[in-house]
A and B are shown apart, each in its own frame.
Chain A
Amino acid sequence: MALDAFFGPAAAPARPVRSEPRLVRGVLIGTALAFLAIFLVLPLAVVFAQAFAGGVQAWLDSLVEPDALAAIRLTLMAAAIAVPLNLVFGVAAAWCIARFEFRGKSLLTTLIDLPFSVSPVIAGLIYVLLFGLNGWLGPWLRDHDIQIVFALPGIVLATIFVTFPFVARELIPLMQEQGAEEEEAAIMLGASGWQTFRRVTLPKIRWGLLYGVLLCNARAMGEFGAVSVVSGHIRGETNTMPLHVEILYNEYNMVAAFAVASLLALLALVTLVVKSLLEWRYAGELAASRRH
């Protein structure tokens, strides 16, 4: 009772301490929803509306047209080469950074982030300057009849550069948090380096790895800037899907442009759904490993 006199009667709080008044909540939630609608949902809806503006048949026709098919094929091909390579590079880089202490480690970490901080156009230009006809290695490549710029190799190189950080960035914090004790335990039990990686490390990081690969893939298929510089925009040959969309758009071929765009958007949506599913799964796993 003496405490009551001191602190005042202990009245039941009208609402939880950390919740805001109804009006504030309404305004904040409303603003967020409106923002989402205008900047994310509406554009996406427009893409699909425009794509199907000429009917399903017109949409289908603009996708099976030879140049569009070539663009789709090239995009898939570039992703199919770039993503596995970045998977290997990413795991190796993350392994290096998370497991070992060495001079220049922070420099390496910064370098891995470089593709995120450099404009994709510059990434493309680097390869033109290196491998282009007037580039450093251009004459040598021409003499040996190797075509890099304005061909598939250039597109793959630019894609690899731009998507390099995704897998490594995803794995480094995960591997740092998990530590190396389980690997040490495996070695003490007689496992070889490969057995340790395959049976202990890989299962530990698999969800993070899958997540990183998905993001890497989405970016690899959607990359515009860097690829645009090295591609040369040869229709039916060096045009990827994003470049094809741009060409069609510039030719005022709206239905075809949006049809191809809708395919890219669909890919993004599928990636997002899979990613959400993974996150949900992966969160449980992470929580379990923390409990452990």
Chain B
Amino acid sequence: MNIDIQAITKRFGAYTALNSVDLRIGSGELVALLGPSGSGKTTLLRIIAGLETPDGGTVLFGGEDALQRHPRDRQVGFVFQHYALFRHMTVFDNVAFGLQVRPRSQRPAKSVIADRVNELLRLVQLDKLATRYPSQLSGGQRQRVALARALAIEPRVLLLDEPFGALDAKVRKELRRWLRHLHDAMGITSVFVTHDQEEALELADRVVVMSQGRIEQVGTPTEVYRQPATAFVYDFLGDANRIECRVEGGQVRLASQGQPLGGVSGQAGPAVVYVRPHDIELQPAGDDQATGTVRRVYEVGPLVRAEVDYAGTLLEVAVPADDRMPFRAGDRVRVVLRRGLVFPADRPDRPEPMALVPFRGGASGPVVQRL
């Protein structure tokens, strides 16, 4: 079942939650709606489900207008952020609910319902807990009950609102992998909302990055990470250093002091260059060659991080922990930006990669004197 979203707009009073959003979701795809809170991702999900009504635009399910149908007739499986399990029903009854409330003419026989529920509980590995109540389950187990309940109605579309948001990191990772397997096995068109970029990149076939009621970029995890369309996407998909600069004669130069940072093919003008912490190299340097000062060094799991004062801009630098950080706070260092993305101020949607070597011309300075 492919979903076609056209020009969806939603306002809450004066606040615009979604501003003319277009999105096509292919049949059998697993798509992530990724964005910070307030970006409109949950509102979009709830509009697809029918729990919110848009102020404008259309939603088509397989070419058919879904907005004309009551949510109960859309055959959409919805997994709520806090699961919304029926607290007064056992796990079995929760999963059976969707089948039991069908009109008498379409309702399967009791024994058929029982078989189907037991089959689903086996699928989510909860067949031994069928008689428990939701309050007697762990977060991960509740999540799986919620999923089994949503799957019981044989949905054409599966929607998940922050499916792993309320779980601890370890369970989250396990469930994520499990959900991916499940999706591959069942092939239901699925959309999930998340604010966790790692979750989106790991789980989804395609990622929809949203901000302030608009879609910033749609693409595969590799595309959005490697070729971010906007500064927002770059910033949201990972740690980023933001350095004010200007482009001049194929060179990117620091806005404040004019030091060359790298080469770029773009036109002259003010710009911002974004650099990932692991794309920055620190080199020992004497006072004459030094361009930065180490402020702080700390270790986080597999990485050693350093904060470096680079001509007034505080840079975050990360190196693998096994390359023992050879610097301490106070050391003077030479900062080399190995890779970056330049966003010209007048064309923020046309970023250009920054290379270590200047694009043309005989620029001098520390960048060309590579070690």
Q: Which residues of B lie under 8 Å from residue A189 when comparing CB positions? A: 72, 97-98, 101, 149-150, 152-153
A: number of interface residues (CB 8 Å): 20
A interface: dominant SS: helix
Q: Which residues of A (155-204) have their CB < 8 Å from a CB of B? A: 181-182, 184-192, 195, 199-200, 203-204
Q: Which residues of B (81-98) have their CB < 8 Å from a CB of A? A: 82, 84-88, 97-98
B101 touches A195 (CB 8 A): yes
Q: Which residues of A lie under 8 Å from residue B80 when comparing CB positions? A: 181, 184-185
Q: Which residues of A lie under 8 Å from residue B51 when comparing CB positions? A: 184, 187-188
B84 touches A192 (CB 8 A): no
Inter-chain CA distance A182–B135, complex, in Å, is 14
B98 touches A292 (CB 8 A): no
A70 smallest CB distance to B (angstroms): 43
Q: Within 8 Å of chain A (Cβ to Cβ): is B61? A: no
Among the listed B71, B85, B87, B134, which residue makes an inter-chain contact with A188, where contact means beta carbons less than 8 Å apart? B71
Q: Which residues of B lie under 8 Å from residue A192 when comparing CB positions? A: 72, 101
Inter-chain CA distance A181–B197, complex, in Å, is 26
Q: Which residues of A lie under 8 Å from residue B102 when comparing CB positions? A: 190
Q: Which residues of A lie under 8 Å from residue B77 when comparing CB positions? A: 188
**Interface flags, A251-292, vs B, CB<8A=1, else 0:** 000000000000000000000000000000000000011011
Beta-carbon nearest neighbor of B102 in chain A: A190
A180 smallest CB distance to B (angstroms): 9
A188 touches B97 (CB 8 A): no
With A184-B51, A184-B80, A188-B71 known as contacts, the answer to whether A288 contacts B135 (CB < 8 A) is yes
29 A-B pairs with C-beta separation under 8 A: A181-B80, A182-B85, A182-B86, A184-B51, A184-B78, A184-B80, A185-B80, A185-B85, A185-B149, A186-B97, A187-B51, A187-B71, A188-B49, A188-B72, A188-B77, A189-B98, A190-B72, A190-B73, A190-B101, A191-B101, A192-B101, A199-B97, A200-B86, A204-B87, A288-B87, A288-B135, A292-B85, A292-B87, A292-B135
- Report which A residues bind B (CB closer than 8 A): 181-182, 184-192, 195, 199-200, 203-204, 288-289, 291-292
Can you name 11 extra interface pairs (CB under 8 A) apart from A188-B49, A204-B87?
A182-B85, A187-B71, A187-B72, A189-B101, A189-B152, A190-B102, A190-B153, A191-B72, A192-B101, A289-B87, A292-B135
